[in-house]
Amino acid sequence: MTLPFQETGFFRADQARAAAYRYAVREGETVRISLTLDAGADVRVFLDAFELSPDNAPPRLITSADTAAATFSYVAEDDRQHLLRVQPELLRTGRYTLRIQREPSLAFPVQGKNDVAVGSFWGVDRDAGARRHEGIDIFAKRGTPVVAAAPGLITRVDETPRGGKVVWLADTERGQHIYYAHLDQQLVQAGQTVQIGDTLGLVGNTGNARTTPPHLHFGIYRGGRGAVDPFPFVRRADALPAAPSTSAERLGQWVRVREKRADLRLSPAAKGATTVANLVRDTPLLVVGSQADYYRVEHPGGQIGYIAARSVVSAAAEPLRRELLAAATDLIKLPQAGVAPFDTLPARTSVAVLGEVSGFQLVRSAAGVVGWAAKAG
């Protein structure tokens, strides 16, 4: 998934199944997860966030919660892929809405500014390529207050040829060191304890920045890691994800592929998403999630993926056809040979055919019973 993300999902009581969402994070980002259940839903949902290893080692559990405290957050320790597992109690049906957003883990270090003021980013060339920029430059008027991005202890107040007037702040909550450089004035002393928002100095262009407009060079150094990119630590929070434009009323209902061919994708993206299955016209799909312009669906073969909402129609509202059964017909839960029937419809029963796949058709009787039946002949 691409963050920020929002989806409305559906759990079926007749299946023991969890949903899993994978997303990329940057070191220093706060990931906020919120899950709400529809009013009246009598189901408990368990949430587990994992860090995935690039070397295929077992996932590392980061944190867990359940619907007693279904909003929680954590700070990403590395640039990684994370996975959120959403698992309901067994034999319960319910609808939920999940949101995953990113927030900064530190306060912004220049008063009245935000990440739009960053004019030079991590890793760009310095000194004709002899070194790389180990921080970000935040441009502001000379004299703008530079503030503590975290609570901590001032460890150094110094002046150096490269950084000019500098201040070092030890972040006591996260065990990292924050570096403020090119200050016009330093307004703290070594050994001083500060809180978020306390003024440490004023924006300037001292040191090797004397030929540039006034700005703050802001750096973060982590134990055993050295300098890291500070931008994810202070970037603006994600806006609230857009509500699904697809119809949540189709959750738990069948739709049918309307196009000659359509792709079932691993993620709700028009480009770059891995194809789970190639679908043909009239394939029925059960809707288990609604996200932006896509449905998360379950294929009769068991695969789960996303399909563009424009590629399907409501199977119930627009059945393929109506027919009378020529003989007594068994209804089964899956379109597979050898599956025990759960019901039998008498001959001459009128049914609506909702879709077809692999020699089976999905039918609905006048009484509303839905199941799979082998195609005659």
Q: HEC states along 118-155?
A: EEECCCCEECCCCEECCCEEEECCCCCEEECCCCEEEE
Q: Categorize the per-residue pLDDT at 292 as very low, low, confident or very high, splitting at 50, 70 and 90.
A: confident
Q: Mean per-residue pLDDT for 179-189?
A: 98
Q: Mean per-residue pLDDT for 354-374?
A: 93
Of 154, 155, 138, nearest to 203 (Cα)?
138
Q: pLDDT tens digits, residue range 112-141?
A: 999 999 998 888 877 666 678 899 999 999
One-letter amino acid of 145: P
Give the pLDDT confidence score for residue 180 in this predicted structure: 98
**Statement: residue 272 has pLDDT above 90:** no
Phi, psi of 266 (to 5 degrees): -75, -25
Give the pLDDT confidence score for residue 171 in this predicted structure: 96
The proportion of the chain whose per-residue pLDDT surpasses 90, expressed as a percent, equals 70
One-letter amino acid of 13: A
Give the pLDDT confidence score for residue 133 in this predicted structure: 85
b/e map 274-300, b = 16+ CB within 10 Å: eebeebeebbbbbbbbbbbebbbbbbb
In this structure, what is the dihedral angle of CA atoms 272, 273, 274, 279, given to the nearest 10 degrees?
-120
Beta-ladder partners of 166: 158
Q: Categorize the per-residue pLDDT at 247 as very low, low, confident or very high, splitting at 50, 70 and 90.
A: low
Of 100, 81, 17, nearest to 303 (Cα)?
17
Q: What is the pTM of this model?
A: 0.86
Question: Which is more confidently placed, 251 or 184?
Answer: 184
Length of the chain (residues): 377
Q: pLDDT tens digits, residue range 33-70?
A: 999 888 777 778 899 999 999 888 999 999 998 876 67
Give the pLDDT confidence score for residue 377 in this predicted structure: 62
Give the pLDDT confidence score for residue 132 in this predicted structure: 83
Beta-ladder partners of 177: 170, 221
Using the 8-state DSSP alphabet, how is residue 212 labeled?
A: S
Of 25, 17, 20, 26, nearest to 7 (Cα)?
20
**Statement: residue 245 has pLDDT above 70:** no
Of 170, 226, 246, nearest to 8 (Cα)?
246
Distance from C-alpha of 181 to C-alpha of 201, rounded to nearest angstrom? 10
Q: Mean per-residue pLDDT for 312-317?
A: 92
Q: Mean per-residue pLDDT for 323-328?
A: 93
**Statement: residue 219 has pLDDT above 90:** yes
Q: Mean per-residue pLDDT for 232-236?
A: 97
Identify the weakest region by mean pLDDT among 10-19, 174-183, 213-222, 327-336: 10-19
Q: Mean per-residue pLDDT for 4-33?
A: 89
| H/E run at residue 233 | helix 231-234
Q: Mean per-residue pLDDT for 327-336?
A: 93
Distance from C-alpha of 143 to C-alpha of 149, rounded to nearest angstrom? 18
The 3-state DSSP class for residue 376 equals: coil
Give the pLDDT confidence score for residue 138 in this predicted structure: 97
